[in-house]
Amino acid sequence: MRRIIVLLLIYQPLWADKLWAAELWATESWQATLQHQLLQQWTDISGDAHGNRVSLVGLSPDYQLPACSQALNIELARPLQPGRNGVELRCASPWWQQFVAVELHVMESVAILTQAARSGDSTASASIQFVQQDLGNLQQGYIRNPEQLQDMEFRRNLRPGTVITPDMLISKLLIERGALVRIHLQRGAIQLQTEGDALSLGRKGDTIRVRNRRSGKTLTAEVIGPGEVTIR
């Protein structure tokens, strides 16, 4: 389950791009209004409305802004995302504006190595756990779905505690040079299969050359599985 924390810090940059207008209710503080709108915006983006939590850091709980009798304009410099976001609060009546920095923390389970892995090790044999992490701190990427680890191996040596990112992985070698391969060919409703010899190494999704054993012709095919290629 995903948990969201919003942290607010006062600062003074210049922001643009109107995002939405939120009504500042007399019974609700501006902090609560802002938090509510940010969480609603993130829910609309992520589709996850469960387990969200908000806290304010760097601001006194009693920090006050002037009352706003009309809609409170809330503007972002860019689409809301985990990590630092700049926000401008602006009231039309009476007119005032306030700039704040919003730290959106989205907690989600990501793949982490619990034991060291060497270059070429299979992810299937590696010690991997999915642990809650702050996505705002994972600017290099992360793995959320176990399916992303299937038929993969590590590009380099990695230490325990490493958050696994897509660029650390490479598809396992599925076809060796000279290996027997099954060639799949589909033309409309017709599906044909024949045997061939791989003329180069291949990982899933790679395009390699194969020689059709029956015709002797050299073909270009895509690797779709262990010993399996297809002619597109």
10-residue mean pLDDT series, the chain (232 residues): 47 38 49 83 79 63 78 85 86 87 86 95 94 89 93 94 95 93 89 94 94 94 94 86
Domains of the chain in start order, with CATH, are 3-106 (no CATH), 109-171 (3.90.1210.10), 174-231 (2.30.30.760)
Determine the 3-state secondary structure of 31 from DSSP. helix
What pLDDT is attached to residue 199? 96
Helix (H) or strand (E) holding 141: none
What pLDDT is attached to residue 227? 94
Helical ranges in 55-190 per DSSP H: none
What pLDDT is attached to residue 55? 61
pLDDT for 73-95, tens place per residue? 888 888 888 888 888 888 888 89
Contact 186, 197 (CB under 8 A): no
Contact 101, 10 (CB under 8 A): yes
User: What is the C-alpha separation between 177 and 198, in angstroms, rounded?
Assistant: 5
Q: What is the DSSP string of 72-103?
A: EEEEESS---SEEEEEEEEEETTEEEEEEEEE
What pLDDT is attached to residue 87? 85
Contact 207, 222 (CB under 8 A): yes
What pLDDT is attached to residue 9? 45
What pLDDT is attached to residue 22? 43
User: What is the C-alpha separation between 136 and 145, in angstroms, rounded?
Assistant: 18
What pLDDT is attached to residue 25? 38
What pLDDT is attached to residue 54? 63
Query: With DSSP H G I counted as helix, E B as strand and the rest as coil, what are the percentages for the chain, rounded to 5?
Result: 10, 45, 45
What pLDDT is attached to residue 6? 46
What pLDDT is attached to residue 59? 64
Query: Hey, CA dihedral for 10, 12, 16, 22, is it positive or negative?
Result: positive
Is the pTM above the cut of 0.75? no
What pLDDT is attached to residue 111? 97
The closest alpha carbon to 143, from 157, 129, 155, belongs to: 129
